[in-house]
Amino acid sequence: MSSGDRILITGMQFYGHHGVHDLEQKNGQVFTVDVEMYLDLRPAGETDRLDRTVDYSKVYREVRKIVEGQTYRLIEAVAETIARRLLQAFPRIEQVVVRVHKPRAPLPGTFADVAVEVRRTRE
């Protein structure tokens, strides 16, 4: 990876139907997604041109399609799908970190959040 530059989109909230339990898939719940995209931002910074970076409105739409449009049993699979799709759709991204939060996971106790994080690098 050549650059430590990154674009972050944090706290994206979507209603999805992911979970191991039938009730989770039937009723759904809110999931929060954070994305860190590592890429060289110098060309965009020097030219002030959108075509020299990643359009984060398009990233948002891609993430939303995955979280709201498909059903997964595991949030690990949601995160993996998001990471793979962003690397495919946006060739400027060198590496991506995706966090999927499931704050209402069905656990028998008090907790603030459950999340998974995957880091994927362009091959």
Q: Which residues contact 49 (CB under 8 A, 6 or more apart)?
A: 43
Q: Which of 26, 58, 65, 102 is catalytic?
A: 102
- Contact at 8 Å (CB) between 36 and 59? no
Task: Tell me, yes or no, if 102 is annotated catalytic.
Answer: yes
Query: What is the distance between the alpha carbons of residues 102 and 115, in angstroms, rounded to a whole number?
Result: 6
Query: What is the distance between the alpha carbons of residues 101 and 91, in angstroms, rounded to a whole number?
Result: 26
Query: What is the distance between the alpha carbons of residues 120 and 18, in angstroms, rounded to a whole number?
Result: 22
Distance, C-alpha 68 to centroid of its chain: 12
Q: Would you please indicate which residues are annotated as catalytic (active-site) residues?
A: 102
